[in-house]
Structure 1
């Protein structure tokens, strides 16, 4: 999706074609347009959501327990 934000032309890759239906892709596009209407950069919002999901995965009990176990076994 091509759009303009802060007087700059930007491109947002929403989804990969064969894995998502056309209806779902249009829904994602409409969500990106809603963000633009609110004054939010969709590519920045996508990047922030990706970081939040990554951070949430890193702070699971399993990840912390494995890290603790590795540190305990090396000392």
Structure 2
């Protein structure tokens, strides 16, 4: 675990590890937004995952994708907005049901 200081002045917490024979780097956040205690907790969790043979970086990516998919269901929100528009314009319930 180390603090990477880039040329532009940003400070980033990193953890180097090896899983399935490959060396990887796990990003744990920016300093000072992520405190040393939080980084230590993240390191322990990452070490536990590595011991189980799970790549912490891949797990982080997968959880980000799933949360984005859950919150970003654009088609559903657009369809619901369209149905509300039909209701506000005074369309008969049969037309609204067909469109739904």
Please state which band the TM-score falls in when normalised by the shorter chain: 0.7 to 0.9
Moved over 2 A (4+): 69-73
Greater share of strand: 2
TM-score of the superposition, structure 1-length normalised? 0.79
Structure 2 stretches lacking a partner, 5+ long: 1-14, 87-100
The structure-2 alpha-carbon separation of the partners of 1:18 and 1:70, relative to structure 1 and needing over 3 Å to count, comes to farther
Q: Which runs of 5+ in 1 are unaligned?
A: none
SS at match of 2:27: coil
Higher helix residue share:
1
RMSD, aligned α-carbons: 2.4
Bigger Rg, structure 1 or 2? 2
**Any residues of structure 2 matched to 1:47-66 within 5 Å, and which?**
47-59=61-73, 64-65=76-77
Aligned length: 70
Residue 4, structure 1, aligned to residue 12, structure 2: no
